[in-house]
Amino acid sequence: MSRIDEYVAERSKNDPDFSNLVEQENINLEVAVKVRDLRENMGMSQREFASLIGKPQSTIARIENGSMNASTKVLSEIAQATNQRLTIQFSPAF
Comparing 71 with 92, the larger pLDDT belongs to 71
Domain for residue 73, yes or no?
yes
The predicted pLDDT at position 89 comes to 79
pLDDT for the residue 93: 58
Residue 1: the pLDDT is: 80
Q: What is the 3-state secondary structure (H, E, C) of 21-76?
A: HHHHHHHHHHHHHHHHHHHHHCCCCHHHHHHHHCCCHHHHHHHHCCCCCCCHHHHH
**Is residue 88, in this structure, part of any structural domain at all?**
no
pLDDT band at 3 (very low <50, low <70, confident <90, very high): very high
Cα 74 from Cα 26, distance rounded (Å): 18
Domain membership flag for residue 93: no
pLDDT in tens, 16-68: 899 899 989 999 999 999 999 999 999 999 999 999 999 999 999 999 999 99
Give the span between the Cα atoms of 27 and 50, in whole angstroms: 21
Give the pLDDT of residue 86: 87
pLDDT for residue 40: 98
Residue 16 within any structural domain of the chain:
yes
Domain assignment present for residue 94? The answer is: no
Tell me whether residue 19 is in a domain.
yes
Q: How many structural domains does the chain have? A: 1
The three-class DSSP label of residue 11 is helix
The residue segments making up the domain with residue 56 are 3-81
Task: Give the model's pLDDT for residue 53.
Answer: 96
| CATH for 58 | 1.10.260.40
Does residue 39 contact residue 29 with C-beta atoms inside 8 Å?
Answer: no
